[in-house]
Structure 1
Amino acid sequence: MSDRAQHHYYVPQPSHWMIFGSAGLLCMATGAAAWLNDWEPGRYIVFAGLAILAFMMARWFGDVVRESEGGKYGRWEDVSFRWGMSWFIFSEVMFFGAFFGALYYARLIAVPDLGSIDSKLLWPDFAAQWPSAGPNFKDPFTPMAAWGIPAINTLLLLSSGVTVTVAHWALKEGKRTQLALFMFFTVALGATFLCFQAYEYGHAYSDLNLKLSTGVYGSTFFMLT
């Protein structure tokens, strides 16, 4: 590794890939909104956004790999990458912690309180049981079962964690063939997970009448999954 990489922080040239990423995310967001409102071209806009995002990630990651293998990264860049990943993991923990906290509050505190004697004057017909969409919600729905697709998706997530760990070990050992193989397995498991997740959401909307508008149960279900 060069002395420059050891003692100077590498600042890359301005990149245009974030413009591609922003365009892809914009297409996905607008397409999803249109799709949910029964506008047929919305689904194609979503797929176009996914394609743009995949192209951007492949090219941008390729630039980073070439910079790393070219000896442009040193100790300070390594520290930056580790801190960046640490903050990302921390943000994910706080994100899901907030939603699990909301689920805990709704299930164990809010719903029993709404079914108490003091609340019977306001909502006399409300049954304090979970799952519940909340008082005055008349549209019937069917809760998502724990087994079936949710169990399969959990297994896929755990399996992808194993394969990416093996890929990381292969990277540290310099075994590029094994690295590529297990990274492929990881990506394949992730893609399979997304397909099952899309099917699960479609099943929830069309067959179970479970939507984002289905009170507290629907909103927490979709945000946590």
Structure 2
Amino acid sequence: MNAYAKYYVPEQSPWPIIGAVGLFGIAFGAGHFVIELEKGQATHGLYLLLAGIATILFMIVGWFRHVIIESMSGLYSKQMDISFRQGMSWFIFSEVMFFAAFFGALFFVRVFSVPWLGGHDGGVTHQILWPHFKAQWPLIITPKGDKTQAMPWLGVPLINTVILLTSSVTLHFAHVSLEKNKRKTLTVCLGLTILLGLSFLFFQATEYYHAYTEVGLTLKSGVYGNTFFMLTGFHGLHVTLGSIFLIVLFCRVLKGHFTPDKHFAFQAGSWYWHFVDVVWLCLFVFVYVL
């Protein structure tokens, strides 16, 4: 009879509940921060938001540390690797559904809501709700009459697209180098990937500053401003988490972790980063270009 592979069952962990508390702080604090910012009130929500972010970072460091210790102690078997692959696959699938909901909202607004408000269905409802409405996208005039500008795809968005596509290439070469046990090339390519990811975040912050101070594109800029910041903002959050993931992998590479035959943590980080890149390509096309 074939012997069953051992399956390590970790002890009860506090990290999931700590992560849940941090996510609640981020959601609650961000919501109140936006409301207070729009009303010109004291930004108490900002402190809760920062506390939530700090909690999540604490959770990430602690949880990663435990998993790394367990892995390096030889507690994981081949069966555990299969479980990790399944878990990461389902996690990325959930992320696909997450962004699909936001893209679906954008699709519904552009294909159904905007034409309906413009009276393209032959009805007269739009004459009551918004008589002078022009069915065009992006909507640069809000119902209150405030005007904004559409964010062009040339400039920062195009630069960030090139940056993320390049980062996928460098990460692929890093993965190939790991499989061939070329540690120096692995370190250089992974380091370049991290720098490219941080550059993307820097340019996105520059774009947001430009949008608020010069273009007049804010969260109050109607459905166009809402969908723009919702989609690009959540993507930026995923790039931030992906960069943290890659930095952890980089530190592990410097310490001599991973072998050509056993490196699923690196592979998981690679999957996640490539997923983030694909989402950005969709964003670039449907939010900026079309």
Q: What's the TM-score once normalised by structure 2's chain length? A: 0.63
SS at match of 1:207: helix
Q: Greater CA deviation, 54-63 or 112-121?
A: 54-63
Residues 177/29 of structure 1: CA separation in 2 closer, same or farther (3 Å cut): farther
Aligned to 1:204: 211
Separation in structure 2 between the aligned mates of residue 33 and residue 135 of structure 1, nearest angstrom: 21
Report the Cα offset of residue 10 of structure 1: 0.9
Matches within 5 A, 1:137-156: 137-156=144-163
Match of 1:10 in 2: 8
Look up the match of 2:85. Answer: 82
Structure 1 position 201, deviation (Å): 2.0
The answer for the alignment partner of 2:100 in structure 1 is 97
The answer to whether the aligner puts 1:118 opposite 2:116 as a matched pair is no
Partner of 2:255: none
Q: Deviations over 1:188-224 (max 9, x none)?
A: 2222222222222222222222222322211211122
- Specify whether residues 100 and 11 from structure 1 end up closer, same or farther in structure 2 by C-alpha distance, changes over 3 A only: same
Instruction: Give distance in 2, aligned partners of 1:190 and 1:221.
Output: 20
Correspondence 1:221 to 2:223 = no
Residue 67 of structure 1 aligns with which residue?
A: 70
- Please state how far the C-alpha of 1:40 moved relative to its aligned partner: 6.8
DSSP-derived class of the 1:118 partner: coil
Name the CA shift for 1:140/1:186 in 2 (closer, same or farther; >3 Å).
Answer: same
Alpha-carbon distance in 1 for matches of 2:71, 2:48: 34
Contact 2:142 2:221 in 1 (8 A): no
Rate the CA distance shift 1:164–1:93 in 2: closer, same or farther, 3 A: same
Counterpart of 1:150 in structure 2: which amino acid? Answer: P
Instruction: Give the Cα–Cα distance (whole angstroms) in 1 for the partners of residues 49 and 195 of structure 2.
Output: 20
Paired with 1:170 and 1:194, the residues of 2 have a C-alpha distance of 26
Q: Give the whole-Å Cα distance in 2 for the aligned partners of 1:156 and 1:50.
A: 26
Give the structure-1-normalised TM-score.
Answer: 0.78
Once the 2 structures are TM-superposed, how far is the Cα of residue 73 of structure 1 from its aligned partner?
1.2
Match of 2:164 in 1: 157
Let me know the Cα RMSD of the aligned residues: 3.2
Runs (5+) with no aligned partner, structure 2: 233-290
1:144 CA drift (Å): 0.9
The number of equivalent residue pairs is 222
On the 8 A contact 2:140/2:150 being kept in 1, the answer is no
Q: Which moved more, 1:26-35 or 1:160-169?
A: 26-35
Deviation digits for residues 115-137 of structure 1 (CA, Å, limit 9, x no counterpart): 13423422321111111167734
| Identity between Structure 1 and Structure 2 (%) | 48
User: Deviation digits for residues 26-85 of structure 1, max 9, x if unmatched?
Assistant: 665566556543557876876676566445434533432332233211122111111111
